[in-house]
A and B are shown apart, each in its own frame.
Chain A
Amino acid sequence: MKERMPNSSALMKQEFLKKWIKGLQIYSSFKKEMTIFERKKAIKLSADVAIASTRNASTHWSRALMSDVSTDDANHAAKIVVAQISGRKVEKYSSSKGLMMTCSNKILRRSRVASRCRRTRGVGTSVKARSIARKVVKNRTRVLKSLVPGGQEMDGVCLIKETLDYIASLRVQVDVMRHLAAAAERLDPPQRSIL
């Protein structure tokens, strides 16, 4: 028997897989016959919830993801999945911070505008390259915020941290999913006439 190395990445994968399968079981008990698209959505949602719950709501993106899923009224199964997988109350995920953040964001925005006016007036037309670079960075930050769940309410530092964590979790998710997909395909070659 080969020696098993305790590996935190493997542990995370295990946890993710467990939770994901749990979610899938909930879905399958919920609805017997599903179209391929419904299946895909169920799979993806279970996977997302599972990977977010491996973080135990300690990161912004995981909380935002969970709250997004649970506040989606059209999807009752999703809520059940979230509740089961995370083991917590659904309300906990609806960000209590959200309101606070939006308020503070408005203030920040106002002050940002004010400071920008102040700054540009002072600087004059000195370094254009710098301001262009700044704009580029700002745009890209905005894009990144749109990508990371819950990114809108994060400041620069927090965004980067969350991105780090998010990327790592996404990698785990992709890894496990890929293995499962490959294994399932080996076993059961997909029928051509799916649709």
Chain B
Amino acid sequence: MLNSVRFARNFGEYRVASLSKPSSHFRNLDFRRNCASRLTMEPKAEATQPHFRSGEMGFGLDEIHSLISGPPETGRNSFTALLELPPPQAVQLLVKEDFPAKHLPPPIFPSNIGLIDRASKRSFFASADNPPASNTILLASSSMKVEIVKQEPTDSQPHPNSASPAVSDQSPKSGKRKEREKKVKESNKKSKKVVANEASEDGGKKLPYVHVRARRGQATDSHSLAERARREKINARMKLLQELVPGCNKISGTAMVLDEIINHVQALQRQVEFLSMRLAAVNPRIDFNLDALLAAESGSSIDNDYMGMFTPTIWPEGQINGNRQLEYQQLWQGDELRQPGWSREEDTPNFITPETSHLSYDSSANSAPLHSSQLKMEL
């Protein structure tokens, strides 16, 4: 179900108005703010599965991404790129008109009247005719201090897309918009436009307006539209989750994927417990002597960047471990050539043998790399 086959529907056109750059914080639930782009998706040979790639997501998914795979693919699939926008961004998609219809049972997810109401407060309105050729999405996730500028290649011809209308669940959506949604024209045509109000009721925020068309044979009232939009949002995020959790890619169906996710979270939590027990068992004191740890790590591969900070952090606790430092220093110098004795079960990218640890250990500390000295200052 999750395979976004539902996206392979005979969507009408989804057009998105240009929106201003959002300033909202991730904290807002109602993230989807403005996305200044019109996105298109490539036509899919197999109508069943649009290809979603995890790009970068607003709330720090560049870490996630580095965990999963290589550099993100942007521009190839605007949908996912949009989806991976930080929460403040709106998610918008375009759907090709002549996309083969393949109606699927809607994803099953607990739906709330309250949510529907909130979703329905999103505004829908007919946008301008032709989307600009390319747009830039500024993802300013202030919380994550990440700014990603994306260039969304837009085709003039709409491609088959699955669309998820921009959502702004910000509470001050007023009833005005709801009224507009109710003004839908009932028609027997394949598509139906929802005209929403252009003006934004609340002064500062420009709300995302999405031109939504109902699919053929679908209910056209505003509630189900909103519900469908919400479902699509959820499915899009589920796709991202699928990519994050190992082994979920092949599973189809919300229930199975959720199961895997639950297992994964439980496994991670159990690992944390176990590791903290392990650490507690290692030595009678819990203020770890990082100097010693650095020595132990010198022969093993560890991420270079965060190895460098081991050394500086010992200085604050130097008073406590003065004696041990000396003996570890000697031990460490002997350990320079030691091969990594332990292998990690997980495959982690970009691990480099920290030869720089030698340098950073220099007691004069003048050869310490820049950022480790910065850390030292911070501590």
Contact = CB atoms under 8 A, between A and B. Distances in A.
B317 interface: yes
9 contacts: A1-B369, A7-B303, A10-B303, A10-B304, A22-B379, A108-B113, A112-B112, A157-B230, A157-B234
A17 B306 contact: yes
A134 interface: yes
Interface stretch (B38-46, B74-82, B207-215, B262-270): B262-270
Interface stretch (B6-14, B174-182, B194-202, B251-259): B251-259
B292 interface: yes
A180 to B, nearest CB: 7
Contact of A155 (B115, B272, B296): B115
B275 interface: yes
Given A168-B67, A170-B268, A181 B282 contact: yes
B355 interface: yes
A137 B60 contact: no
B259 A44 contact: no
Interface of A: 1-2, 4-14, 17-18, 21-22, 24-25, 27-28, 34, 36-37, 39-44, 47-48, 55-59, 104, 107-108, 111-112, 114-115, 130, 133-134, 136-138, 140-141, 143-144, 147-148, 155-158, 160-161, 163-168, 170-188, 190, 194
A32 to B, nearest CB: 9
B144 interface: yes
Interface centre among B286, B305, B354 (most CB of A within 10 A): B286
A12 B60 contact: yes
Contact of A24 (B114, B273, B287): B287
B306 A1 contact: no
A107 B278 CA distance: 46
A86 B118 CA distance: 33
Contact of B64 (A43, A168, A174, A187): A168
B113 A156 contact: no
B105 interface: yes
Interface of B: 1, 25-27, 29, 57, 59-64, 66-67, 87, 105, 108-115, 143-144, 146, 230, 233-234, 237-238, 240-241, 244-245, 253-255, 258-259, 261-262, 264-266, 268-269, 271-273, 275-283, 285-288, 290, 292-297, 300, 302-306, 308-309, 313, 316-317, 328, 341-342, 344, 346, 348, 350, 352, 354-356, 359, 369, 371, 375, 378-379
Contacts, number: 274
Nearest to A186: B296
Instruction: Summarize B's interface: helix, strand, loop or mixed.
Output: helix
A143 B60 CA distance: 25
A170 B313 contact: no
Interface centre among B114, B146, B238 (most CB of A within 10 A): B114
A155 B306 CA distance: 36
Given A37-B280, A184-B292, 14 more contacts: A10-B306, A13-B306, A21-B288, A22-B379, A58-B27, A108-B113, A155-B29, A157-B237, A161-B237, A170-B265, A177-B272, A177-B276, A186-B342, A187-B296
A37 to B, nearest CB: 8
Nearest to A57: B27
A61 to B, nearest CB: 11
B237 A168 contact: no
Contact of A18 (B300, B348, B378): B378
Given A144-B258, A156-B110, A160-B237, A44 B273 contact: yes
Contacts of B279: 39-40, 43, 177, 180-181, 184
Contacts of A172: 63
Contact of A188 (B146, B268, B282, B302): B282
List the 8 closest pairs (A to B, CB-CB), nearest first: A58-B143, A10-B305, A39-B280, A40-B280, A111-B113, A44-B276, A170-B268, A140-B258
A133 to B, nearest CB: 5
Given A10-B303, A133-B108, A4 B369 contact: yes
